[in-house]
Amino acid sequence: MAKTDFLTCLIFLLLFATFWGNLSANSANITTDQSTLLVFKSHITQDPHNLLATNWSTSISVCNWIGVTCGSKHRRVIALDLSSSDLTGTIPSQLGNLSFLSRLNIRDNSFHGSLPIELTHLYRLKYLNLGNNSFHGEIPPWFGYLAKLQSLFLDNNHLSGSTLLFSPY
């Protein structure tokens, strides 16, 4: 009987430890997403409608922030849509830390600068709309490494080069 109680207790502890480990890992991951988006917010120099200033706060779950969509399975940021928000700023390299991101739409704003190579870390990215901003420089050749990318919009920027994408696969 004592052996059965010991085994039951051991199984319970193992299940509890597994559950707690998963809960902690998910918490750390959404914390990473939140930190990444707060860095992105810090690169916004103009937000005339105060969309991010009033809503993107640590007192609100990142999954409830304006323009942010989280997946139901992992509760990670899977989409960021800030299109037509009259935002001005640059894209920080840390945006590449949103490892579950599949959709990024910042069309019709005033983002400028170059596109950080760290965006290649967004290996789940299927949709990328950067149209009608003020990005400049060469169209990055690394777009071809985003193997799942199905839709790419770069129109009405100050980019040069070929939009012909190729994948080494």
Exposed/middle/buried for residue 36 (C-beta within 10 Å: 0-12, 13-18, 19+): buried
Q: Is the pTM of this model over 0.95?
A: no
Q: DSSP strand E in the chain: where? A: 44-46, 68-70, 77-81, 88-89, 103-105, 110-113, 127-129, 134-138, 151-153, 158-160
Between 128 and 19, name the one with better pLDDT. 128
pLDDT in tens, 65-86: 999 999 999 999 999 999 999 9
Residue 166 CB partners (closer than 8 Å, separation 6+) = 144
pLDDT in tens, 19-67: 444 443 444 589 999 999 999 999 999 999 999 998 999 999 999 999 9
